[in-house]
Amino acid sequence: MYNNHIVQEDLKRITNQNINFQNLYNKNILITGANGMLASYYMYVLMYLNDKKDANIKIYALVRNVEKLKQLTEFSKRKDIIPIVQDVCNKIEVPEKLDYIIHMASSANPKTITKDPVGIINANVIGTQNVLELARKNNAEVIFTSTREVYGKLDDSTSKVSEADMGALECLDLRSCYPESKRMAENLIVSYAYEYGVKYKITRIAHVYGPGMIIDNDGRIMSDLISNVVKKENIVLKSTGEAKRAFCYVSDAITALLTITVDTKANEVYNIANETEEISIKELAFMLKGMYENSDVIFDIQENKNQYVKFARTPLDVSKLEKLGWKPEISLVNGIKNTVEYFDEI
C-alpha cells in the first residue's frame, strides 16, 4: 500500500503542507491499531519523512495479532518500523522512551457492535488506560482519535456542533457501546492529565474514507458503496437514503491529525470533518452510478436497529481546527476517484 501511486501522491501532498514536521524529527512514536486506515496513513507519513527528509523517526506499530501483522509485511525490512504484536487491552511495554503515542486502536465497524460490543468497550476503556499508563511512565503526549458520535443527540436548535457541546446517549441501547466507551476514554484522558500531568490532544473525527479502508462486509455506507463499485456490482441501498453525511478524504484527515500533533498547545479537543459537501446517501449512490456506469442503484431496505445511529446528523464546527491553518483540499468526487483507483490496482 505504501508504494501505491495514489498513496504516494497523497503523502507528497500531505508533507508539502505548512506543518511544522520538524517537531516529529528524531522522535520515538507509538501508533496503536497500526493496521487501520488512519493509523496506516499516519505511519506512512512518518515513513515518507524518513525516506525523503531523513527525519530519523522511530515508529512502534502495535497490532493485535499475527494476522494483523501480516498486513504490514511491506515494513518487514525497514529499520524504522518496530512491530508490537499484542492486544491493546494488555499491558504495553516499549524498550525506549516514547515522545508521542498516537492511540487509534478501536473498532468502528457497525457489524462488530452486534457481534462483540464488550470487545469494543474493552479496547476503548481498558486499552486507553494502558496507553495512558505508558504515557505517564514515558512523559509522552497522547493523541487520541475519538468520534463525532460522543456528541449524542443534540437539541434541535443546534446548527453546528462545537467541541463544547454535548448531547444525550441512551446507555441501554446496544449501539451506545461505541460512543459511550469513547466518552469514557476521553474522561480517562482528562483524569490522567489532572492527576498525573499526562499531556493529550483529543480528536473527534467524522466519516473518513480513502485508500486502505475496509470494503469487505464493513457496514459503513461509504465502504459498502465503494465495495459495490470496485466489484462492479449494483449499488445497493439498505434504506431510503434520505440520511445525510459529509465525508472527509483520508489525506485531509491525516493533515488535520498531524497539524494537531505538532501544535505546541496541549490538552485540547478538536473536531475533524469536511463539512463542505453535505450529501444524502441516495444522492451519493446516484453520483457513483453516474461516475461508474456499470452499476445501477438497487433499494433493499432493511431494519438494522442496533448498528446505526438513530438521530439526525448535525454538522461539526471545525473553526478551532481551521485556526491552526488546516482546511480540506480533496473534493468528494476526487476522493472517490482516488479510492476506487487505489482498489482497482491492489
So which residues are the catalytic ones? 178
| CA dist., res. 139 & res. 266, Å (int) | 13
Q: End-to-end CA distance of the chain: give it in Å, rounded.
A: 8
Three-state DSSP class for residue 189:
helix
Three-state DSSP class for residue 291:
helix
Q: Which of 314, 324, 316 is nearest to 257 (CA)?
A: 324
Cα angle, residue 11 at apex, residues 85 and 218 outer, rounded to 5°: 55
Q: Which of 101, 178, 177 is nearest to 132 (CA)?
A: 101
In the numeric block, which cell numbers belong to residue 91? 499491558
Q: Which of 118, 99, 211, 204 is nearest to 161 (CA)?
A: 204
36 with 5: CB under 8 angstroms?
no
